[in-house]
């Protein structure tokens, strides 16, 4: 039975974890766990960006162009009903539709702007936590590598002290090897994640810029732009009968009594 379990025990003792411990000590395991966590976070961030990232689609551009040209013809409820399932995951489209609906309802301009800014910030919040995790990994990996270097040098000098300075190269090589391995591993983990963090931050800045420019395009259309058209039409309809009545000629029977009354007043005044 012991002969049967011997290969299994040798496999466990010679497994990857023990090899990492032999190469760089416990710090190497921590670095490996951080690398796996960073990789999973990056994959999650890419999937999140593909589904829920604010994006300016072609339909959204057409909606904004129609809102700028003929705002009275935009129906937010109809646009919301015609939106597909995938497009509903776009926070920018929901933000634009809600802002247009608030402008058409003549809500307070300051309140609309504050609500739009708050909703835009909420649309970018899911990307902040994964970015922060990647930034922390990129910052901590070199420090952990440095910690492994210090621990390895301490082990090397401890071996030298135990032999009262008569340690040979084989006794010192273990600590020095561990020190150099953890330093290299820390840099190998830190450099890619630092580059990924910079790229993700650049993408988030571009998305934030797109959201701001889209909101500016929507908010520049004031309520007077689409309520003024209705006022002009209603005013023209109301003033048309008055103008027609004013331009209509008066009957002679109405003009004669007025002139006769005026001439009679002048005659009485003249005769005293």
Phi and psi at residue 98, to the nearest 5°: -65, -35
Q: What is the predicted pLDDT for the residue at 35? A: 94
Environment class of 223 (CB within 10 Å of its CB; exposed 0-12, middle 13-18, buried 19+): middle
Per-chain mean pLDDT for the chain? 77
Q: What is the predicted pLDDT for the residue at 109? A: 85
Q: Kindly state whether residues 88 and 163 are assigned to the same domain.
A: yes
Which tens digits make up the pLDDT trace of 206-233? 999 999 999 998 988 865 555 544 444 4
Q: Report the predicted TM-score, pTM, of the whole model to 2 decimal places.
A: 0.70
> Which residues have a Cβ under 8 Å from the Cβ of 92 and sit 6 or more positions away?
54, 55, 56, 60, 123, 210, 211, 214
Q: Kindly state whether residues 125 and 254 are assigned to the same domain.
A: no
Query: Does residue 52 sit within a domain?
Result: yes
Neighbours of 143 (CB within 10 A): 11
| C-alpha to C-alpha distances, 35 to 41, 42, 121, 137, 189, nearest whole angstrom | 10, 11, 29, 8, 6
Q: What is the predicted pLDDT for the residue at 241? A: 45
Which tens digits make up the pLDDT trace of 246-261? 445 554 444 444 444 4
Task: Determine the angle formed by the axes of helices 26-52 and 128-162, rounding to 10 degrees.
Answer: 170
Which H or E element spans position 167?
Answer: none
Which residues, given as ranges, of the chain have pLDDT below 70? 1-17, 19-22, 24, 164-175, 222-272
C-beta of residue 128 within 8 angstroms of C-beta of residue 102: no
Q: What is the predicted pLDDT for the residue at 209? A: 93
Separation of CA 269 from chain center: 87
Which domain range does residue 100 map to?
A: 16-221
Q: Kindly state whether residues 251 and 120 are assigned to the same domain.
A: no
Give the count of domains, the chain. 2
Query: Does residue 215 sit within a domain?
Result: yes
Query: Does residue 38 sit within a domain?
Result: yes
Q: What is the predicted pLDDT for the residue at 236? A: 40
């Amino acid at each position: 039975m012991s002969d049967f379990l011997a290969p299994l025990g040798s496999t466990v003792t010679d497994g990857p974890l023990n090899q990492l411990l032999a190469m760089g000590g416990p710090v190497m395991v921590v670095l490996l766990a951080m690398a796996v966590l960073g990789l999973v976070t990056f994959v999650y961030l890419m999937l999140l960006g593909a589904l829920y990232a604010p994006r300016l689609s072609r339909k959204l551009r057409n909606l904004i162009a129609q809102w700028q040209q003929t705002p009275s013809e935009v129906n937010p409820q109809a646009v919301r009903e015609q939106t597909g399932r995938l497009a509903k995951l776009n926070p920018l489209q929901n933000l634009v539709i809600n802002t247009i609906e608030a402008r058409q309802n003549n809500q307070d301009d300051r309140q609309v702007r504050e609500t739009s800014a708050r909703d835009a910030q909420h649309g970018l919040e899911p990307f902040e936590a994964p970015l922060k995790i990647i930034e922390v990994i990129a910052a901590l990996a070199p420090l952990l590598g440095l910690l492994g270097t210090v621990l390895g040098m301490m082990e090397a000098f401890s071996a030298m002290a135990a032999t009262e300075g008569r340690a040979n190269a084989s006794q010192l090589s273990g600590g020095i090897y561990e020190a150099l391995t953890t330093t290299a591993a820390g840099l190998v983990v830190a450099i890619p994640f630092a580059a990924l963090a910079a790229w993700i931050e650049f993408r988030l800045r571009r998305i934030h810029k797109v959201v701001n420019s889209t909101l500016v395009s929507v908010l520049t259309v004031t309520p007077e732009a689409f309520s003024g058209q209705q006022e002009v039409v209603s005013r023209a309809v109301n003033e048309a009968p008055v103008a027609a009545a004013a331009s209509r000629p008066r009957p002679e029977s109405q003009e004669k009594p007025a002139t006769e009354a005026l001439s009679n007043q002048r005659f009485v005044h003249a005769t005293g």
